[in-house]
Structure 1
């Protein structure tokens, strides 16, 4: 293999793609990400073209690419799988970012059945399959439940990723609002929202506007119902 071809192979295997808009995507192998098989896929000439299509969309921070048939999927839900099925030839790519939420201080409106649903699970950098929502942060049923992460410094989040409950009752994730503030009492910056309802083991990206800035990141379910639960197995707050 020539030096030039070897370099191209290395870039593909490392799965870092630099597109014209200077967005770098990385092949994510930390978990088994699964696509929504009913979502639209399109044929593309290369992995870079697929990345470019995602970069051209305002709310797109990730995509799936079929390495055998050269198909691109930028739409549809994202799921986690824990049985190892439905992997290759599809690979999941996400903007290369840094998660600044790991091991940071977390507050919750309430805690359901501690320590099994402790607040620390929202930022422990682990997503595991466990029954009854264990090892996930879980509020009690209440009006407008919330989880608040203190990043310890002011950042400009690019997007916030929420990992829904895996085992059951994923539909409880709905009408979610993510907001930011420089204090833990006022959150004037709207990052975004997720209407839902969610599904089990869903991965939700909430993309912030370019001017989003804050130290405290609040994830809250709002709505008319008086009894709502917020269960998240991980919150990632991503910066470039």
Structure 2
């Protein structure tokens, strides 16, 4: 009787141990993941989402993730937490891309002070629209499925129970940050070009007609032009951003 009970309990203990190890990584990543880990999402919802992701990811890792009869829990607690935070922060950079692009666009078009505190994180109106639009687009195009694939691929990039070496993690992180700033500048490029043309034109008009108050004429023009440019360019901006996010989630180890 006791042998039969041990045979039944053994697989259950192995499954719980596997789920616990996977949850350590997913739970840490869930704290900073976009959409699922935003501060506007209640903590209970984030906890349930982390558990659901664990239930999906853990069975797929059962054939390859060997823990043994006595897993080193203290070591796994450290390594999986570090791995989860690193993976979540890498995806969070794509939200920072939209925030940076929106701030650059707003500063260059004199819209930086309009509704600056409307979001949980202080952002100008353009940045708020970009972030909400980007997150909505990512969610509608299957972000939850891509996140599951991302977690599965992460065990090739950062194996369970292995401390990530700084010599490996630092170049990977620096590459992600440099990619984020380059992408943010690319997304904000239409607004920067329009701002440059506007300021050059304003300088020429002021030089030709010093008595004209060009600031009173130019302020409504740049505001209207920025809003029209936002309406025209935002679909292309979000499409470019979503494509970059998909490429990263499909292959996180790929150099930018």
Please classify the TM superposition score into its range, dividing by the shorter chain length. Answer: under 0.3
Q: Which has the higher contact order (CA 8 A, sep 6+)?
A: 2
- Structure of greater Rg: 2
Give me the TM-score of the superposition, normalised by structure 2.
0.22
TM-score, normalization by structure 1: 0.23
